[in-house]
Amino acid sequence: MSRATVTVVGGSGYTGGELLRLLLRHPNVEIASVTSDGLAGQPLHRAHPNLRKASELTFVPRPDAKEADVVVACTPHGESVKQVDRLLALGDRLIDLSADFRLKDPAAYRRWYGREHPRPELLERSVYGIAELHRDELRGATFVSGAGCIATASILALAPLVRAGLVDTRRILVDAKIGSSASGLETSVASLHAERSGVVRLYAPAGHRHTGEIEQELTVDGARPTVGLTCHAVDIVRGILATAHAFLKDGVSVEDRDVWRVYRQAYGQEPFVRLVKERTGAHRFPEPKFVTGTNYCDVGFEVDPHANRIVAVSAIDNLSRGSAAAAVQNLNLMMGWPETTGLGDLGLHPV
């Protein structure tokens, strides 16, 4: 299929806006409809001012969503599962960007979300949307679940080390720092400018739900790792910096060149993963600001022989690589198009 129609369900939030920004420039996509019950009848730029003059489309209420080749759901967590039958019937293919179908094990869902999954029979049907790990499954898939943003950054930093058998999977620690756009449009005292400006705030010392995704995707040959995830809110709008501490297995000794080899084997041919490790200069390791608005994940590392660990670092834009741009990458694979179609933007410098 050379072209496809796409309906975006729940298009008025930050993720919806980022997705529309990409789809409107995608050469193979025609947007059939964009839903928003609260903004029905209003132009897209009412919610997304950067899209002014980019489209004549207006939001439509959810019942008026048009059938399409692909449906992308940008609904809040817990909402997609309630309307999944309607979403699946609305298009030939579904990409769900909520957390509702990311975990394949109902017990893991119960553990990390504190309730039973309403539709456990659908969990195995969806493909987890990180192309670097599931490219073959994504080709021709009809149901894809977008990965969590913190999970994406953490998994891409750690997967090569785990799969190479270098690190002790019984104790992996991840410290993630994330910008304010990850909170979406929901308001709270914590999201007020007066409370958010200038902060480095620990908001999830343990128990973050993306831990389940990281452990799921780092499982090798049935051996599920134990990951400790800690999350901080920092004074940026977009971006995630994930710093992972992976301790070497007993008896394993590595040098920089060994770890370089592992990462190059994993990502050397990947179009959207860049290895960043410079000896000198201001930008020696990944930084979120340089991937803003792109589908890139920048990955770096440092070997620490003193503590017998590898510090693995990754940077992504939570709205792009962590959600909307990854959805477009998955869409390309689902449709049999070149994987990079519509995703050629580079980051800006300086920002």
State the catalytic residues. Answer: 149
The residue among 291, 298, 300 whose CA lies nearest residue 343 is 291
Bridge partners of 232? 177, 202
What is the Cα gyration radius of the chain? 20
Q: Determine the Cα–Cα distance for residues 212 and 135; give it in Å rounded to an integer.
A: 21
Number of Cβ atoms within 10 Å of the Cβ of 118: 12
Pairing outcome for strands 29-35 and 59-60: parallel
100, 146 in Cβ contact below 8 A? Answer: no
Q: Determine the Cα–Cα distance for residues 324 and 9; give it in Å rounded to an integer.
A: 13
If you ran DSSP here, which 8-state letter would residue 58 be given? Answer: B
Residue 156 to residues 85, 94, 148, 227, Cα–Cα distance (Å): 32, 24, 12, 14
